[in-house]
Structure 1
Amino acid sequence: MAERLRMMAVHAHPDDESSKGAAVMAKYVKEGVDVLVVTCTGGERGSVLNPKLDRPEVWENITEIRRAEMDTAREILGIRQEWLGFVDSGLPDGYLEAEEVDRPALPEGCFGLVDPEVAAEPLVKLIREFRPHVVTTYDEDGGYPHPDHIMTHRISMVAFDAAGDPEKFPEAGEPWTPAKLYYNMSHPRAKLVALNDAMIEAGEEGPYTDWLQWFPEDKDKGSRITTQVECAEFFGVRDDALRAHATQVDPDGRWFAVPLDLQGRVWPTEDYQLVRANVPTELPESDLFSGVR
């Protein structure tokens, strides 16, 4: 019997796994792949983005609520999930708009201030225990420059390279070298334009018109995409998992504005950039496990 394929997706907060690559994970789960999501923080400092739930008792119990939401999303996607246990950094006012040297200070002890060379150890331990063939994470600016997303990238890179080195983190288990590492490329500009235009052509309001106005073409990473996995069949599962994070998403917001059948016709893939490969590869790809199967 062939060895079961394994995929690890490393994310910053509970809800990130459902907004970035969730349909691909659901697709692979159905195919028999063992999928583990690693959540670096508990999301303790996250905002309540659903206006229907923005009330004091939710804020007071946000840590427990976000864990319960993650449990529900995990069941919907059919995945496994582990917490790394770091503390959410939050997003101070003005952080995203400021230049790096001028950004507001982060709270003491938060994930965004850890030393990635040290903080990678629990992720190395999980990689060595789970032995994934494929690892996914964020690019060098975290997909967007949230401090926890950037630190997720940093510890993922350290851990991916260290996991197979017996001299690194010797107490973290037997070495294992994953075959491939990918960055999530969740929102290339061409995708937003295509979906927005399709909605307008259908006589509806374009849900991304405002977004595209502050998304300059020189910030687009679409040219970096190497791998597009068809997964439109699982867009509904993805949306159900995202809605399970009820404090983090407005069910009436733009994330759900484009009908699933239109999404499937216009952009039926989730997209990635291959950044490490320890197996022969040929680009472009349509499968994260190309060269591994």
Structure 2
Amino acid sequence: MSVPEREPLRLMAVHAHPDDESSKGAATTARYAAEGVEVLVVTCTGGERGDILNSSFVVPDGHEFETIEGRRAVRELEMARAAEALGVRHRWLGFVDSGLPEGDPLPPLPEGSFGLVPLEEAAAPLVQAVREFRPHVITTYDPSGGYPHPDHIKCHEVSFEAFHAAGDPERYPGTGAPWQPLKLYYNHGFSMRRIRAVHEAMEGAGLESPFGDWVASRDAREIPERELTTLVPVADYFAQRDAALAAHASQIDPHGFFFAVPRDLEADVWPWDEYELAESRVPLPERAPGTYEEDLFEGVRSEVPA
């Protein structure tokens, strides 16, 4: 007798700007996509207010980077290349980048930007995406946004809202049939656990660490560590992550800190992407202290019907 095919697992990764999907959890999405999981990256804004952060960047022929529209077009091109490198599907929500306000006091956000959109208006297209794609697992940012960019904080808010509202038939009418995701995770792209481990390994190998000032400054600020529940082994997918990073040529310096750590050293000391399980609608086993999940779909695989 033939074994019945099981419904494919589905993972949705929600990010604020193009390039965030390549610097936070990229190897995870590449791994699951390669293993046959359907993976959709959702990007809330077009990254229209991102500056050129790579001194060697050359604006592609036929494009310009001086206007909001020109920057959006360039970053759409970069995002398409990154998604191809990761092997994932991609969807824009269509909001406009808020930019990172600087100064004391902080200036107001630009009119019409993502950070100013009311929650239900901002969450509606994500609820629709959830109902159409029907993810079993969603990843996004913690309530702080990972760092205090208004779009990262808003990204958390709309993701949290969509996780809880998409399964309620009374909410967000006109956005599709209800669908309840089973697990919500916060990705920890640059935890101090990871930074310290890599920093100490670099110094132990006699190499110059790109994280020395970062370790000192974050220690001085006493930034609290969030709970770590899940370590997904992803060293075999560092190459795909790096290709996706490089695709964002306006933002990622190929000689910058993203590429400063030898990959064999990184694989030895920190071969994981790390996550915090925020909520689960499926039962999970009790874990001994100091042990972690290794699979975002733990507890989900047995719930997905054939």
* Counterpart residue identity of residue 45, structure 1: R
State the shift of 1:47 in Å: 1.1
Give, in whole Å, the separation in 2 of the partners of 1:277 and 1:218: 30
State the shift of 1:57 in Å: 4.2
What residue in structure 1 maps to residue 304 of structure 2?
none
Give, in whole Å, the separation in 2 of the partners of 1:86 and 1:70: 15
Q: Deviations over 1:9-44 (max 9, x none)?
A: 000000000000000011101110000000000000
Give, in whole Å, the separation in 2 of the partners of 1:47 and 1:200: 32
The reply to whether residue 145 of structure 1 matches residue 152 of structure 2 is: no
- One of 88, 95, 99 as aligned partner of 1:86: 95
What residue in structure 1 maps to residue 232 of structure 2?
229
Which segments of 5 or more consecutive residues in structure 1 lack a partner in the other structure?
none
Q: Describe how 1:1-293 pairs up with structure 2 within 5 A.
A: 1-53=5-57, 57-60=64-67, 61-94=70-103, 102-216=105-219, 218-222=222-226, 224-282=227-285, 283=287, 284-293=292-301
Contact 1:185 1:221 in 2 (8 A): no
Identity value in percent: 55
* Counterpart residue identity of residue 183, structure 2: K
State the shift of 1:188 in Å: 1.4
State the shift of 1:239 in Å: 0.8
Q: Equivalent residue of 1:59, what SS?
A: coil
Give, in whole Å, the separation in 1 of the partners of 2:110 and 2:190: 29
> CA separation of 1:72/1:155 partners in 2, compared to 1, >3 Å: closer, same or farther?
same
Give, in whole Å, the separation in 1 of the partners of 2:197 and 2:224: 14
Q: Equivalent residue of 1:8, what SS?
A: strand
State the shift of 1:203 in Å: 1.3
Which segments of 5 or more consecutive residues in structure 2 lack a partner in the other structure?
302-306
What TM-score results when the alignment is normalised by the length of structure 2?
0.90
State the shift of 1:93 in Å: 2.2
RMSD (Å) for aligned C-alpha atoms: 1.5
Q: Equivalent residue of 1:287, what SS?
A: coil
**Large movers: runs of 4+ above 6 Å:** none
